[in-house]
Amino acid sequence: MSKRIDVKDLDIYYGDFHAVKTVSMTIEPRSVTAFIGPSGCGKSTVLRTLNRMHEVIPGAYVKGEVAIDGTNLYGRGVDPVDVRRQVGMVFQRPNPFPTMTIKENVLAGVRLNSKRISSKAADELTEKSLRGANLWNEVKDRLDKPGSGLSGGQQQRLCIARAIAIQPEVILMDEPCSALDPISTLAIEDLINELKDKYTVVIVTHNMQQAARVSDKTGFFNLEATGKPGELVEYDSTQNIFNNPSQQATEDYISGRFG
């Protein structure tokens, strides 16, 4: 299920604005990769190119390649909708559909993909996805209640269940804990640790302790000055990035000297 991502010479634009300069990196399957760096250096922008969400913004485009197990997502004839089915995404703010029940929230992506499933299969998928998101025990007796009635941390795990339900190979997370309290954050971090058994996980985080806790590899992005493109300065094992970085800029950032 889990797949490898090869980013090759990727330049990212918003219209005339060159937002990120020539990124190349390989993200291994069954691993967690964290993107860190100061505000505006392009972490979220790079993340969104990994499932073709970037180009949803008018005028936005990329040059270069992102291959998943060798298939370029930007190749001719590739349907972005198929890509987003393969590469799920969880956002900063938990965003369950407020009027839908917990169960319907889990199944929302599956239904959007216009897959017809029997009610038995729907029940099974709901349970499996909620178990996968470590939420089943907390909600199994209220699956028909609105998703908006859950706590923030539970809502975020519901969004993760929704992402899991479409059976992706890769899960992208854009600051998934930034709106959560410390206990809910720990629950999500534990979950990320479990998700890597099955999925390739990429997470953008502002929280360096979080990157150090959850990731196997870390990419440090930076930008020379406002208006200049962001770039990937260093990409290595999380251990090396935090204990023995090879670039001065990485060391300055992780030791809190800037950003």
Ligand X SMILES: Nc1ncnc2c1ncn2[C@@H]1O[C@H](COP(=O)(O)OP(=O)(O)OP(=O)(O)O)[C@@H](O)[C@H]1O
Residues that bind ligand X (CB under 6 A): 14, 17, 19, 37, 39-45, 57, 230
**Which is nearer to ligand X, 43 or 103 (by Cβ)?**
43
Query: 14 or 97, CB closer to ligand X?
Result: 14
Smallest gap from Cβ 53 to ligand X, in A, equals 11
Q: Closest approach of Cβ 54 to ligand X, in Å?
A: 9
Cβ–Cβ under 8 Å, residues 177 and 185:
yes
CB 191 within 8 A of CB 163: no
**How many C-beta atoms lie closer than 10 Å to residue 131's C-beta?**
14
Contact by Cβ (8 Å): 134, 188: no
CB of 93 to ligand X, least distance (A): 13
Measuring CA to CA, how many Å separate 1 from each of 88, 122, 167, 228?
13, 21, 8, 38
Instruction: State which residue, 20 or 27, has the beta carbon closest to ligand X.
Output: 20
**Smallest separation, CB 230 to ligand X (Å):** 6
Q: Using the minimum distance from each CB to ligand X, give the nearer residue, 153 or 230.
A: 230
Distance, CA of 88 to CA of 250 (rounded, Å)? 29
- Closest contact distance (angstroms) between CB of 228 and ligand X is 9
Closer residue to ligand X in complex, CB, 29/64: 64
The closest of 245, 180, 183 to 212, measured between CA atoms, is 245
Please, how many CA atoms are within 13 Å of residue 184, restricted to the half-sphere of its CB? 18
Closer residue to ligand X, CB minimum distance, 19 or 170 = 19
Residue 192 buriedness (CB in 10 A; 0-12 / 13-18 / 19+): buried
What's the min distance (Å) between Cβ of 42 and ligand X? Answer: 4
